[in-house]
């Protein structure tokens, strides 16, 4: 039996009749996980990296095409200095330790977020991860680092304004496609499903433009506890959602017409 058929049987057995092409994760609750155990916040982030590994493995197993993870927001720089250093150190180690395995698993790494002010070592690592894995054809792991959606949209607006100022674009040529084409995610499909852990129900400046028609699943667990079972629970919930993209149900529109 082909691998695809086996996967279909497995997901059907789990009650998942449709899987999202693109899942985005807001990995929230590391600090609370640590505090509940009397541990330093860094320990929560460390366990958060382990949960990230489980999420990537589950996405590969479930044949998800794109997994975007909010690893460090543009606003995270205002956390205490030692916490920022710890998060940077974890990113460093994640890429150093896991890049070979990601590459061997045919994962393509992409990075979104502002690169201009990053230190050369962090920037070098992110670029290395993209370069080494660029020809891979399995899961695309999109790492949102120093990412802020408002900043991303502002940068796209600035790029378009410059084109108008140079006479290369007319103002009436600016439409949604023109903006989308200048976002960091230009060649990445919009997320179908956004999962946030920790019970908080907000986007926190993550993929504001791209989330226009995304489904949201808010899980009550803290990020370090995320695992394959949590991913499957979110997929089961997603499979029950009815996505209409602003349209009405065909049956309903037939009724209106008659
Ligand atoms: C939110 O927890 C999480 C983050 C700020 C960053 C997410 C980071 C990881 C999962 C680990 C690092 C991974 C990489 C690849 C860098 P929080 O600190 O806001 O938790 P709290 O709301 O409970 O305080």
Instruction: Check pLDDT > 50 for residue 98.
Output: yes
Are 139 and 66 in contact by the 8 Å Cβ rule? The answer is: yes
Write down the pLDDT at residue 247: 83
Tracing tokens 């009436």 back to the chain, one arrives at: 172
pLDDT tier for residue 10 given thresholds of 50, 70 and 90: confident
To the nearest whole percent, how much of the chain has pLDDT over 90? 86
**Which of these is catalytic: 5, 30, 76, 177?**
76
Domains in the chain with CATH codes:
18-147+190-199+207-240 (3.40.1180.10), 149-188 (no CATH)
Q: Assess whether pLDDT exceeds 80 at residue 14.
A: no
C-alpha span between 238 and 64 (Å, rounded): 13
Backbone angles phi, psi at 173, to 5 degrees: -90, -5
Ligand 1 centroid distance, CA of 26 (Å): 9
Q: Cα 214 to the chain's mean position, in Å?
A: 12
User: What is the DSSP-derived secondary structure letter of residue 107?
Assistant: P
Q: What is the pLDDT of residue 214?
A: 98
Q: Dump strand ranges (E) for 7-112.
A: 22-26, 66-73, 108-112
Q: At what angle do helices 120-133 and 81-104 cross, to 10 degrees?
A: 20
Considering only residues 15 and 119, tell me which one the structure prediction assigns the higher pLDDT: 119
Q: Is 52's C-beta closer than 6 angstroms to any atom of ligand 1?
A: yes
Sign of CA dihedral 125, 127, 132, 137: positive
Mean pLDDT of 19-40: 98
Evaluate if residue 117 carries a pLDDT over 70: yes
Atom of ligand 1 nearest to the CA of 222: 23
* pLDDT score of 7: 73
Q: What is the pLDDT of residue 258?
A: 38
**Mean of pLDDT over the chain:** 93
Q: Decide if pLDDT at 257 tops 60.
A: no
* Residue 160 alpha carbon to ligand 1 centre in Å: 33
* pTM exceeding the 0.85 threshold for the entire prediction: yes
**Residue whose CB lies within 8 A of the most ligand 1 atoms, among 42, 46, 71, 227, for a mutation test:** 71
Is the CB of 87 within 6 Å of ligand 1? yes
The pLDDT assigned to 3 comes to: 65
Residue 192 annotated as catalytic: no
Looking at the CA of residue 46, tell me the nearest atom of ligand 1. Answer: 11
- Report, as an integer, the average pLDDT of 1-26: 79
Ligand 1 center to 230 CA (angstroms): 17
C-alpha of residue 41 to centroid of ligand 1, in Å:
9
């Amino acid at each position: 039996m082909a691998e695809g058929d086996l996967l279909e049987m497995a997901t059907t057995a789990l009650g998942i009749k449709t899987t999202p092409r693109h899942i985005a994760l807001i990995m929230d609750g590391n600090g609370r996980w640590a505090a509940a155990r009397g541990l330093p916040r860094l320990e929560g982030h460390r366990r958060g990296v382990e949960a990230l590994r489980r999420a990537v493995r589950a996405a590969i197993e479930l044949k998800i095409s794109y997994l975007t993870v909010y690893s460090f927001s543009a606003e995270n720089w205002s956390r205490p200095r030692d916490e920022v250093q710890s998060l940077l150190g974890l990113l460093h180690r994640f890429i150093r330790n896991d890049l070979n395995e990601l590459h061997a698993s045919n994962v393509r790494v992409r990075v979104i977020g502002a690169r201009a002010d990053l230190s050369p070592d962090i920037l070098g690592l992110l670029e290395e991860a993209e370069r080494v894995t660029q020809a891979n054809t399995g899961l695309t792991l999109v790492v949102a680092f120093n990412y802020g959606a408002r900043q991303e949209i502002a940068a796209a607006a600035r790029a378009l304004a410059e084109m108008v100022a140079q006479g290369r674009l007319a103002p009436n040529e600016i439409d949604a496609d023109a903006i989308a084409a200048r976002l960091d995610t230009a060649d990445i499909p919009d997320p179908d499903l956004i999962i946030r852990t920790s019970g908080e129900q907000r986007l926190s400046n993550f993929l504001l433009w791209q989330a226009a028609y995304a489904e949201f699943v808010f899980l009550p667990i803290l990020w370090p506890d995320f695992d394959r079972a949590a991913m499957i629970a979110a997929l089961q919930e997603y499979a029950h959602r009815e996505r209409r993209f602003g349209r009405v149900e065909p049956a309903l529109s037939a009724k209106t017409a008659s």
